[in-house]
Structure 1
Amino acid sequence: MNTIVFDPWIGSRYESENHFGRRVLVLGESHYGDVSEIRPTFTKEIIKRLGQDERCAFFTKVSKVLLDFDADTYISDSQRSDIWEDVAFYNYIPSFVSEDARVRPNSEQWASAQMPFKQVIDILKPQFILVLGKELGAQIPKVDPSIQVCVIQHPSTGFSYEEWNPVFQKALSVAVNG
């Protein structure tokens, strides 16, 4: 039984010939909004609009991490948009956490996320998962040991490129070079 509520974003180069040489899944924590907005295409629409078409601080920071840009390096609109074609993106919590941002998932929401997450992993078959947030990293179930998992600080809370870009780059290097 399919329990996926929000279909993941899958970039056009996710499967092959991408920037990373691996299938990279970027794992966010949750969406927020009015329950009347829940639909399977919601995540795809958000990445297209806020990751590619508009400048949104969260998605711009994630783009800069993926490209190993520091705080002082400007990311062009085309660079920001293009990097999302190289990855898949999925938010772990399969419901809106709240109508407002910065609300934490409750225990039922964390528990309800495990099965859809496992289904997404089975479908996408990522080789590398970039987890956006330490608490999220502590909540996700174990994945196949062949999948490299890298947990970094959530980009919206006191994020430091100096601290977290090297963590991502080192983990990615291990995944690519074995």
Structure 2
Amino acid sequence: MWNKVKVHPWVGKFYESTELLPNKTLVLGESNYATEENFDSNLVIACIKEHIGENSDDNFSRFATKIRRVILGRETKVSARNFWENAAFYNFIQYRVGELSKQRPTQKMWDDSAQAFEELINTIKPERILVLGQENWTNLLSHINHTKINDFMSKFIIGDNEVIAGFIVHPSAGGGYFTYKEYGPIAKHVVLGSKAFCVQM
């Protein structure tokens, strides 16, 4: 199925026909962190499976829980399994960056991952993309044909696909940069808002 994509996306079983979300939604993370022996094409899929199962990694589960809550609300009753079975997740960088998040991707990693992202969009055809992280967003805009909607949102034009995308501060950001109060409304607007409303905003 994949030619350029090296680390396969998680695609929930209800992604194509979701009734939980109003649009086919891709959550776009930035980088893959793992030991050399644990890094393979199924890394992202395994992380989500563990998160919605019983043997979850605490760090990833905290991160994934923040994503669900920033979109659906901090007090949401929607379970992790229900949310992720209705969404897709993918990390833009298609390489192992290191074992710790303080290690940063090189410019070559950004450049060499762009074609894989285009392949992903042309294959799973999301209608909305929530991008995690300012640096992720900035690098993405430098590689993807797009039309600016506002400071937080753009319309991506990839092949025959026109996709509404927007970003929030990365949920793992320290120092109090990520807050539900500030970024919850943006995430909800990107993922849950109507196409017309987003374009007019």
- Cross-structure match for 2:136: 136
**Which one has the bigger strand percentage?**
2
Q: Which residue of 2 aligns with 1:107?
A: 107
Three-state SS of the structure 1 residue aligned to 2:194 is helix
What whole-Å deviation, never above 9, does each CA across 1:126-171 have from its counterpart, x for those lacking one? Answer: 0000001111011112332731001111001131101111112223
1:173 counterpart residue number: 193
* Runs of 4+ with >6 A deviation: none
Stretches of structure 2 lacking an aligned partner (at least 5 in a row) = 146-155
Report how far residue 36 of structure 1 moved: 3.0
d(CA) in 2 for partners of 1:113, 1:15: 25
SS in structure 1 at match of 2:22? coil
Alpha-carbon RMSD: 2.1
| Inter-partner Cα distance in structure 1 for 2:31 and 2:169 | 15
Quote how far apart the aligned CAs of 1:177 are.
5.7
Q: Which runs of 5 or more residues in structure 1 are unaligned?
A: none
Given the two structures, how large is their TM-score scaled by the length of structure 2? 0.78
Secondary structure at 2:97 match in 1: coil
Percent identity between the aligned chains? 30
Question: In 2, distance between residues paired with 1:22 and 1:149?
Answer: 12
What number of residue pairs does the alignment pair up?
Answer: 173
1:146 maps onto 2:162 in alignment: yes
User: What residue number does 1:156 align with?
Assistant: 172
How far has the Cα of 1:12 moved from its partner? 1.0
Cα separation, partners in 2 of 1:176 and 1:128, compared to 1, 3 Å: farther
Give the direction of change, closer, same or farther, for the CA distance of 1:31–1:51 in structure 2 (3 Å limit): farther
**Contact kept in structure 2, 1:16 and 1:22, CA below 8 Å:** no
Mapped partners of 1:132, 1:124: distance in 2: 19
TM-score under structure 1 normalisation?
Answer: 0.88
For residues 80-99 of structure 1, the aligned pairs below 5 Å read 80-99=80-99
Q: Which amino acid aligns with 1:148?
A: I
Q: Distance in 1 between matches of 2:180 and 2:46?
A: 27
- Report if the CA contact (8 A) 2:128-2:165 is conserved: yes
Q: Residues 124 and 176 of structure 1: is their aligned pair in 2 closer, same or farther, counting only changes over 3 Å? A: farther
